[in-house]
Structure 1
Amino acid sequence: MIRRILGLSVRARWFVAFATFLLVLFGAWQITLLPIDAVPDVTNRQVQINSFVPTLGPVDMEKQVTFPVETALAGIPGLEMTRSLTRNGFSQVTAVFKDSTNIYFARQQVTERLAQAADALPAGVQPQLAPLTTGLGEIFMFSVAFAHPDGKGVATQAGKPGWQPDGAYLTPEGETLTTSLAKAAYLRTVQDWIIRPQMRTVQGVAGVDSNGGYVKQYVVEPNLSSLAAYGVSVTELADALERSNLSAGSNYVRRAGESFLVRADARLRSISDIEDAVITTRAGVPVRVRDVGQVVIGGAVRTGSGSKSGSEAVISTILMLTGENSRIVANRVADKLVEINKALPPDVVAEPAYNRSKLVNATIATVEKNLVEGALLVIVVLFLLLGNIRAALITAAVIPITMLMTAAGMNELGVSGNLMSLGALDFGLIVDGAVIIVENALRCLAERQEHEGRLLTRHERLEETTLAAQEMVRPTVYGQAIIFLVFVPLLTFQGVEGKTFAPMAVTLMVALASAFVLSITFIPAMIALVITGKVSETEVKPIRWFKGKYAPALAKAIARPLPFVVGGVGVFALAVLLFGTLGEEFMPQLDEKDITVTNFRIPSASIDQSTQMQLKIEDALKSLPEVALVFSKNGNADLGTDPMPPNASDTYVIPKPESEWPDGVNTKADILARIEAKMKPLIGNRTEIQQPIQMRFNELIAGVRSDVAVKLYGDDLDAMSEAARRIAGVLRTIPGAADVQAEQTSGAPHSISRSIVRLRDATACPSRKSPTPSRRPLAGVKPGCFLRAIDDLMWSFGSPTRNATISRRWGRSPLCYPMPGRATRVRSRYAKSRGSPIQKA
């Protein structure tokens, strides 16, 4: 069959040339669609389920949320395993599926199981699926901050939106921000309600995660003495706020031929509206919120924060949709950010902090450089060996056409272009089949011309070209088959190995198949079209020189083969010995240029304390002249895709270009050493240094951030913790092991409140039949929300930051306040557990 294809290609040479031209156009279009990234995506098929319940502790979250969710997922087709992470108020369950499972089918099945398990979860718990992304998904990060913090260095004008002469900030909505908390909450509002909705419209974006600032709230701070004086309880205050924040409709009425919509709008719209809300009446006089307390702008209890160059900021992360082109999506996001900046409030700016496209561009530039240099080298060698420029160009044309055909095949097979897949291409293998056909055709044409003693007619030339190509069918097929078989074992790899090396094998096999097709169609057709006139088949000077040196050695080897055989065996034995001295590594580590410094503090460290310690770290690192930018993400973000406890922080260090490094800093290892030297004086931090992609891959694949992890299974957590510490001690003695630590499973303080309410007179609290525990004094109350053009602002009772101690907020607040003449005794008892004693009421 191949012989017939060769003959047809020569006869229909113009058709083959035109078909190849169309193929080039198709390949050029396909290469623009090829997903480009730095490395292969080795993330397994997984679905993450995140649940947020701020009122539940770790033990309750595990029993009431994590365990029911894990149990509900059991038996899903394709499910390999589940793992979970439970912290205070947060639960994450990761379901890992087989690689052959369709990720959309997996997410659909998980959603159905969660719906079935809804009755087994606490009221109000709504497990949510994490965005559809992978370990390569964090492609872009940006910060939202004031360009001139506190108005320093900027012209101010009273009454105009922006910074005011007194240091306050006036928003375009007319709200005056005077405290640092209110300003941080406004930055978060800008991110959540202006930037995030627009970013989610960018094609290829799966989600936008945010760290930093405060979720804005209007906080009612009741005066306990005023409440007692008016005989108003906390419950009545909360109920009054709910009644004052309603909107209802009643269809429409007809009048004079028109329809009028009936609507009662009692929504609260500002602080003054809240202050004017009526709680009750005393002696016919309304008691308003302003009479029993004050209303201020505050922030919700946060589990994460962000910082940049030593100052707090809102750090947002763009998550790329699975299968998209990271470089293209990152560029789209960057362009969108420029557009969004034009519409932001005065002096608020959103600046890029991390852009994956820089790494991708650098990686692809390296690959392109190697490919171009390899192609030019092959062309030069072909010209020197073939001695015919036309034949060399025909052979060299196989290289770009093969690349375009390979891009189409990679798109069809779902293989991305990266350092492993494109870097594995070997042009010597690609042109192997074409070289032997071209060389044999030149030989046959030259011999026929010499035999005829004249130039060949077109018929004779086509006949010789066909015969020459057909003579090389067997060596061409055998050569390609042998190379194919060499790479077949790579396709049997599973897990991370398969995701790493299978794309390389697939890409090379597609390229070889494309080159083989070209060698039996395009090459004979082009020889028939281009190789005309006088053809001479003479050995070029390099070949003649090499033969002159090789011929005597070959004669000696044939005459006395034993010494040469023994010498070959000796060289092989020496090579085996030297091979045993080589180090072993799964794959070379990609230099991502950027650096991540993960810092851990004691488990009891709050998010505010971690943030303050992190700001000192940023101040130290930004002093290095080779560092361009330092920013951090502390604790847990909104979407929970990268769950960290409050005592942990990820610091991103963005170095300057190598040309701007100071003297004495020549390699990345020098930068790491200088970073470690800067970190050493900062006590209270345990540091791990990695790279962004490397860290994310480790965490998603195994649930830990380190390169190597030892997992223990058992029922006794204390016994496993002790065993883990012993294992870590042994691992530290291994040469090359660094930053060996056992996971901390204890040490986080928590307080247990046990309140006893005894009523001497059952009528003291007429609203209660019997004493009932209340969560309101501990968790605060959220009686409603504001609905505004760009805001959805929750408001609650408590201090502005809602991070004060229990006694400060509610420790002196009885569950029910007495009316005059009623006798009530309230006693509270607080028990301490692994923490500082809480002030008693």
Structure 2
Amino acid sequence: MNRIIDFVLENRLLVTVFGVIVLAAGFISYNKLPIDAFPDVSPSLVQVFTITEGLAPEEVEKYVTFPIETAMNGLPNVENIRSVSNFGLSVVNIYFEDETDIYFARQVVNERLQEARQQIPEGFGEPQLGPISTGMGMVLFYYLDDTTGKYSLEELRTMQDWIIKYQLQTVPGVTEVLGIGGYEKQFHVVVDPIALLKYNLAVNDLVEIIKRNNLNVGASFIEKNSEEFLVRSVGLATKIDDLENIVVQSEDGTPVYLHQVADINIGGSIRRGLQTKNGIEEIVAAQVIKLFGTNSSAVINSVENKMIEINKTLPEGIKIVPYYEQKSLVEASVNTVTNALLQGIVLVAVILILFLGSIRPSVVVALSIPYSVLFAFIGMEYFNLSINLMSFGGLAIAIGMMVDGSIVLVENIDRIIKDASPSDNLLQKISKASKEVVRPIIFSIIIIITVFIPLFTLQGVEGKTFRPLAYTITLAMFGSLIFTLTLAPVLSSLLMKLKIKKNSENKLPQETYFIKFLMKVYDKTLCFFIKHRFAAMLLGFIFIITGLYIYPKLGSEFTPQLNEGTLIVKLTMAPSISLEESKRTTMLVEKRIMGIPEIEKTVTRIG
């Protein structure tokens, strides 16, 4: 260990350059780190969705969910498989071990889906993988505001699904944009049973005829006059007339058209959910889901900028209005901890000046804080950690501990160089002072790091929540140890000077007025309790009893509550309630809530 001090003082320029490189690398790493409000505690999950039109939950379970579940058995690293079978929808959740790569998990699930598809009857739906995201991935919600009132819900939903969605998906970091509300635009063929009977047709006949006629077909090409002409049949229906003029049968050489046996119109699809606003109207809304592992704050900023561009291209009176985004929560969380970090740095610097009694030693010690923090950022990038409430909180907690080693070393250097003789050499004094305390400094920092090792052993949600805190504290303490052993002696040699003692008496260095005051108070207090030992024991006993009495009344919670300015109100209704009745009840509740003066807006999702 003494050799480290000798090497550092002999190669001060090299050590200084190394320190500058660490600082620069720390700044670069900081700019690369993703920013989130909290650590993502979501499990490694792959979802399989299957839309099964018109099937009851029992049939969905039997013909769709069960084949998918059984196909997933035996996949590597799978912890659990759960499923939900609803009317018209099957959702299978495959949970993998926490350290499993999400792309590997999706690959093996997709391979097994090929087997499952063979077991699902034709027409019962096509299984699809869910988005590459987690429970923390829904970073922004928005709705379409129609100030003109001339656009129907079908038209608004069409804008959302065919214009806005695809443009937002071009934003880096966006994996999916899920729309809700309004109606998906469809052609409706309303069959006349009497006309079908008249022409001896069945509904299935019409379905097959429409399928065969509603497509474009290529037929190679022909050559004429040294030119090639593509031959194709254009039959894809784009308007009502295209469907009305489909020939369904020939009656004595006379064609029977679809409009003779059915009415064709444009309408909305059967829906299982909707969205309302302020208890006044239905709206078309959507949620933006970010890609797993991307920077939430950066994705939200990019999406908001893209929305500004899209708004310029939408019809007059139509505007995208975000009503919830995680950026505010992320910024509030990070700013809170950042302010605490800065306040801690200032307080530490003030206390150092008060106790050390000199600005130069205080500057050397204070520099260990930014060095340790930036060193921690390098480690955070290496371990794929994000900036969040827990990781930044770890740095705030470690501020006082970061300077411990530097304080001991610099204070000892300051003590020794204040008692120098004319023949003494500054570097020799610094070397001697550093070697005296280097061993206990290393041991003390290792002990501090050891305290946080149990946090690395936590599993599940607890592990994902508190491991970032343990990582940042450990990394910062390693950074402070490196600073203490390398830069602290070098900076001391540059900023501090020998103070030649005026006489040969071996006197202790002069203490500051603040230290003198504290020592005076402490001396009187110590003398009092030495004389009255029973009082000291009684006081300690009272503190212990008081703590034991108060502790059970403190209560406990997993994480502190945060006030982000929004409230979530959940309404639970009978499972058999219709969508329209749910809408009516919800809008009544919204109107009552909007009657509260402090409420600006309410948006509700049903289904």
* TM-score between the two structures when normalised by the length of structure 2: 0.93
Q: CA deviation at 1:61?
A: 1.0
In the alignment, does 2:108 pair up with 1:119?
no
8 Å CA contact 2:60, 2:88 repeated in 1 = yes
Q: Deviations over 1:410-453 (max 9, x none)?
A: 121122221122113231101111111111111111111xx33x
8 Å CA contact 1:211, 1:634 repeated in 2 = no
Q: CA deviation at 1:565?
A: 4.4
In the alignment, does 2:456 pair up with 1:491?
yes
Q: Distance in 2 between matches of 1:227 and 1:299?
A: 25
* Counterpart position of 2:578: 606
Q: Distance in 2 between matches of 1:634 and 1:535?
A: 81
Letter in 2 for 1:530: L
Q: CA deviation at 1:332?
A: 1.0
8 Å CA contact 1:315, 1:633 repeated in 2 = no
* Counterpart position of 2:240: 271
* Counterpart position of 2:555: 583
Residues 61, 535 of structure 1: alpha-carbon distance in 2 compared, 3 angstrom cutoff: farther
The 3-state SS of whatever aligns with 1:302 is coil
Higher helix share: 2
Q: Distance in 1 between matches of 2:546 and 2:586?
A: 54
Q: Select which of 413, 416, 420 maps to 2:383.
A: 413
Q: Select which of 233, 242, 256 maps to 1:287.
A: 256
8 Å CA contact 1:40, 1:418 repeated in 2 = yes
* Counterpart position of 2:417: 445
Q: Distance in 2 between matches of 1:206 and 1:535?
A: 69
Letter in 1 for 2:311: N
8 Å CA contact 1:61, 1:86 repeated in 2 = yes
* Counterpart position of 1:329: 299
* Counterpart position of 1:554: 526
Q: Higher relative CO (CA 8 A, sep ≥ 6), structure 1 or 2?
A: 2
Backbone CA RMSD of aligned residues: 2.1
Residues 51, 233 of structure 1: alpha-carbon distance in 2 compared, 3 angstrom cutoff: closer
* Counterpart position of 1:100: 99
Count of aligned pairs: 596
Moved more, 367-376 or 267-276: 267-276
Q: Distance in 2 between matches of 1:587 and 1:234?
A: 59
The 3-state SS of whatever aligns with 2:571 is strand
Q: CA deviation at 1:230?
A: 4.5
Identity of aligned residues (%): 36
For residues 808-823 of structure 1, the aligned pairs below 5 Å read none
Q: Distance in 1 between matches of 2:313 and 2:212?
A: 36
* Counterpart position of 1:220: 189
Q: CA deviation at 1:560?
A: 6.6
For residues 119-158 of structure 1, the aligned pairs below 5 Å read 119-124=118-123, 125-150=125-150
8 Å CA contact 1:145, 1:187 repeated in 2 = no
8 Å CA contact 2:187, 2:267 repeated in 1 = yes
* TM-score between the two structures when normalised by the length of structure 1: 0.68
Q: CA deviation at 1:514?
A: 0.8
* Counterpart position of 1:512: 477
Q: Which runs of 5+ in 2 are unaligned?
A: 502-508
* Counterpart position of 2:466: 501
* Counterpart position of 2:506: none
Residues 44, 242 of structure 1: alpha-carbon distance in 2 compared, 3 angstrom cutoff: closer
In the alignment, does 2:303 pair up with 1:338?
no
* Counterpart position of 2:404: 432
Q: Distance in 2 between matches of 1:57 and 1:279?
A: 32
Moved more, 270-279 or 572-581: 572-581
8 Å CA contact 1:307, 1:315 repeated in 2 = no
Residues 535, 526 of structure 1: alpha-carbon distance in 2 compared, 3 angstrom cutoff: farther
Letter in 1 for 2:401: L
Q: CA deviation at 1:364?
A: 1.1
Q: CA deviation at 1:243?
A: 3.8
Letter in 1 for 2:306: K
8 Å CA contact 1:306, 1:633 repeated in 2 = yes
Q: Distance in 1 between matches of 2:212 and 2:100?
A: 50
* Counterpart position of 2:511: 539
In the alignment, does 2:443 pair up with 1:478?
yes
Letter in 2 for 1:149: G
Q: Distance in 2 between matches of 1:267 and 1:569?
A: 88
* Counterpart position of 2:321: 351
* Counterpart position of 1:50: 49
Q: Distance in 1 between matches of 2:218 and 2:118?
A: 32
Q: Select which of 422, 426, 434 maps to 2:392.
A: 422
For residues 153-232 of structure 1, the aligned pairs below 5 Å read 183-232=152-201
Residues 559, 477 of structure 1: alpha-carbon distance in 2 compared, 3 angstrom cutoff: farther
* Counterpart position of 2:215: 246
Q: CA deviation at 1:554?
A: 2.9
Q: Which runs of 5+ in 1 are unaligned?
A: 151-168, 170-182, 636-841
Q: CA deviation at 1:587?
A: 3.0
* Counterpart position of 1:776: none
Q: Distance in 1 between matches of 2:590 and 2:528?
A: 71
For residues 305-320 of structure 1, the aligned pairs below 5 Å read 305-309=274-278, 310-320=280-290
8 Å CA contact 2:33, 2:381 repeated in 1 = yes
Q: Deviations over 1:446-465 (max 9, x none)?
A: 111xx33x8x6xxx111111
8 Å CA contact 2:417, 2:498 repeated in 1 = no
Letter in 2 for 1:520: L
For residues 370-385 of structure 1, the aligned pairs below 5 Å read 370-385=340-355
8 Å CA contact 2:417, 2:497 repeated in 1 = no
Q: Deviations over 1:581-601 (max 9, x none)?
A: 332323323333322111121
